[in-house]
Amino acid sequence: MGATEKKGEGKADEPKAEDEAKKKAEAAAAAAAATKREDDRLLVDVPAQVALIERSAATKDPKAQNRVLRHSSAIRRKLTAQAVRNAIETFIPEGHPLKPLLATAAAKVPEKPPPPAAAGAPAAAAAAGAEMDVDAQAAEKRTAVCMEVEAYICVLLTTLLIDAKLLDDAAAVSSAAFARVQATNQRTLDAMGAKVYFYYARAHELGGKLASIRSALLRAHRTSVLHHNGLGQVVLLNLLLRNYLQHSLYDQADKLVAKAGFPESAPNNQLARYLFYLGRIKAVQLEYSESFSCLLQAARKAPQRAAVGFRLSVAKLTTIVQLLMGEVPSRSALQQRELEKPLRPYLQIAQAVRIGDLAHFKHVMETSAALFHADRTHTLIVRLRQNVIRAGLRNINLAYTRIPLESIWHKLKIDRLEDVECIVAKAVRDGVIDAEIDHAAGVLISKEVDDLYATLEPQLAFHKRTSFCLNVHNDAVKAMSFPPDAHKGDLEQEEAKRKERLREEAELAQSLAEEDDDEF
């Protein structure tokens, strides 16, 4: 208990009366079992977060707000309905347009079932909560609430409702919050507003009403572009892309990407998301190498430890796209620590494509069809069939200088003999193999492999790598940040140095001129 009290006292800017209230609440809850303490601390936690947000809004310093947002996932895990109800009571003033909606929605959330040891706890906690409400209202009597706090409470409530599977209420609350945020033009609201947008879309997605919010999101995106609200812009862009891709509207998504720019200042997580969506779009449109580079970047920008689900999706898509490009993904990429097991079907596919075994490929496709459908990679995997044939063809081409088409037919298990000739011809045209067909003799003659170093290939590779390194360097220079006024102190010194240098140069010039004179 001591720790929590200290925390309360440590906050100098909180009124004494609230401390009293907390102490009372905690005293009542102290009777409950030890497991209940966690929740009680949250009763304190939410006001503390709100105080941070208020301070950040007043000083226009986004750091404190960012800190709150960073903790949001930890808070979400521990959040209780009572904590949110208290927060609504305390911080949203009477007569506020959202108050009735928020209060009724919050009232619907059932308390988490307490562990059996603490059977008496809920009653005690409820009593404590009620007591605190009375005190808090008497003490604080908030007459106004700043938009940031309002948005924060709405976000908390929405997450609570989503976790409690009350999706309709979550959608209603988030829609209301969305409308409020839209109506406000305040730069300090950007970060919190982005959160509101996100949960607005999330609540609707889980409720299966994704299509209905599309135009609202588009409108919000336009507004945030006009307001130079970079964060809102990227979040909304990603939400829109997700929205389109969920409905397989690749055409619209592609057009959106082409028209809407992606601000450079975007945080890495959003950038990773964006690149993933972009990779998906490009993969569907058969632009595999572009898709691959997007996905690669997405994997690099994504958090390296957390976000397993995201990394898994990226890894799955990357594997398929790489195979479609005719490359074989490295084994280590498919055997990362947490991802190894879910990636196993993809590993099997990769193996089948590598060896060029059509039967094995078909077998894997059939056994894991449900998984591929769920991952929405099935249509891409279907396209791999030709790559399997070609991989087999390439192996044959490397091993034999001259082979009858009939043997190829047997080896690759192609349906009909007549097809073999065309398939081989197409592989030659696409540059998969370097060979020639002699129709009269019915054989495939491999051409000798040229010396690669006699071509321009190494030079191209060199250029590619050099420009990559130079780009990395330039990006690093651009990304360096300096404290705003650090250079000012040096300025005078620099000025003095510059004068000194100028003087020296002038002297030198003079002496040189004199020497010249001497010579003549």
Partner 1 sequence: MEAKLRTAVTLFEAFKKEYDSPTCDVDKCTAMLNTLKLRMTEFTSLPPFSGPASPTMQQELMLAREILEHAALLSIRMRDIPAFERYVAQLKVYYNDFATALPMSQRQYPVLGLNLLRLLAQNRTAEFHTELELIPPALHDANIYIKYPTQLEQYIMEGSFNKVLNARADGLYSREGEYFMSMLTETVREEIATCSEKAYKSMSAEHACNMLMLPTLPELSAYVEQRGWTMSNGLITFKQSSDKVLELPSMRLIHETLSYAKELERIV
- Min dist CB 211 to partner 1, Å, is 8
H or E segment at 233?
helix 230-246
Restricted to residues 461-480, the positions that interact with partner 1 (CB under 8 A) are 463, 466, 470, 473-474
H or E segment at 435?
strand 435-438
Q: How far is CA 171 from CA 34, 84, 102, 202, 207, in A?
A: 35, 17, 12, 9, 8
Which of 305, 337, 429, 478 is close enough to bind partner 1 by CB under 8 A? 429
- In this structure, how many other beta carbons lie within 10 angstroms of the beta carbon of residue 322? 22
CB 139 within 8 A of CB 21: yes
Which of 76, 385, 394, 411 is close enough to bind partner 1 by CB under 8 A? 385
Restricted to residues 230-269, the positions that interact with partner 1 (CB under 8 A) are 247-251, 254
Restricted to residues 201-230, the positions that interact with partner 1 (CB under 8 A) are 211
Question: Applying CB under 8 A, does 66 fall inside the site for partner 1?
Answer: no
- Min dist CB 41 to partner 1, Å, is 46
Q: Which residues contact 119 (CB under 8 A, 6 or more apart)?
A: none
Q: Please give the biggest Cα pair distance in the chain.
A: 110
The smaller minimum CB distance to partner 1, of residues 422 and 486, is found at: 422
Q: How open is the CA angle 240-197-153, to the nearest 5 degrees?
A: 165
SS3 state at 309: helix
Residue 427 tokens read as 């592989």
Which of 77, 259, 305, 416 is close enough to bind partner 1 by CB under 8 A? 416
The smaller minimum CB distance to partner 1, of residues 63 and 439, is found at: 439
Q: Which stretch binds partner 1 (CB under 8 A): 104-112, 154-162, 303-311, 371-379?
A: 371-379
The smaller minimum CB distance to partner 1, of residues 155 and 423, is found at: 423
Burial class (CB in 10 A: 0-12, 13-18, 19+), 332: exposed
Give the whole-angstrom CA distance, residue 125 versus residue 279. 50
- Min dist CB 252 to partner 1, Å, is 10
Give the whole-angstrom CA distance, residue 297 versus residue 282. 14
DSSP, residue by residue, 393-430? HHHHHHH-SEEEHHHHHHHHT-S-HHHHHHHHHHHHHT
Give the whole-angstrom CA distance, residue 90 versus residue 94. 10
Question: Applying CB under 8 A, does 310 fall inside the site for partner 1?
Answer: no
H or E segment at 443?
strand 443-446
Question: Applying CB under 8 A, does 439 fall inside the site for partner 1?
Answer: yes
- Min dist CB 22 to partner 1, Å, is 51
Q: Give the helix ranges, DSSP H, for 92-166.
A: 99-108, 121-140, 147-163
Which of 44, 352, 428, 443 is close enough to bind partner 1 by CB under 8 A? 428
Give the whole-angstrom CA distance, residue 24 versus residue 129. 10
The smaller minimum CB distance to partner 1, of residues 104 and 285, is found at: 285
Question: Applying CB under 8 A, does 383 fall inside the site for partner 1?
Answer: yes
Question: Applying CB under 8 A, does 386 fall inside the site for partner 1?
Answer: yes
Which of 51, 127, 284, 355 is close enough to bind partner 1 by CB under 8 A? 284
Q: Which stretch binds partner 1 (CB under 8 A): 68-76, 103-111, 228-236, 408-416?
A: 408-416
Question: Applying CB under 8 A, does 459 fall inside the site for partner 1?
Answer: yes
- Min dist CB 433 to partner 1, Å, is 10
- Min dist CB 359 to partner 1, Å, is 16
Give the whole-angstrom CA distance, residue 465 versus residue 471. 10
49 phi/psi in degrees, rounded to 5: -65, -40
CB 52 within 8 A of CB 152: no
- Min dist CB 165 to partner 1, Å, is 23
- Min dist CB 518 to partner 1, Å, is 37
The smaller minimum CB distance to partner 1, of residues 438 and 504, is found at: 438
Q: Which stretch binds partner 1 (CB under 8 A): 167-175, 226-234, 343-351, 454-462?
A: 454-462
Residues 481-510: x where in contact with partner 1 by CB under 8 A, - otherwise, as a string: ------------------------------
> Strands, DSSP E only, in 323-421?
402-404
Q: How far is CA 309 from CA 122, 277, 289, 468, 474, in A?
A: 35, 15, 24, 29, 32
Question: Applying CB under 8 A, does 373 fall inside the site for partner 1?
Answer: yes
Residues 90-109: x where in contact with partner 1 by CB under 8 A, - otherwise, as a string: --------------------
- Min dist CB 65 to partner 1, Å, is 38
Q: Which stretch binds partner 1 (CB under 8 A): 48-56, 132-140, 227-235, 452-460?
A: 452-460
Give the whole-angstrom CA distance, residue 293 versus residue 270. 17
Q: Which stretch binds partner 1 (CB under 8 A): 134-142, 262-270, 412-420, 507-515?
A: 412-420
CB 215 within 8 A of CB 257: no
- Min dist CB 320 to partner 1, Å, is 14
Residues that bind partner 1 (CB under 8 A): 211, 247-251, 254, 284-287, 373, 376, 378-379, 382-383, 385-386, 389, 414-416, 418-419, 421-429, 435-440, 454-456, 459, 463, 466, 470, 473-474
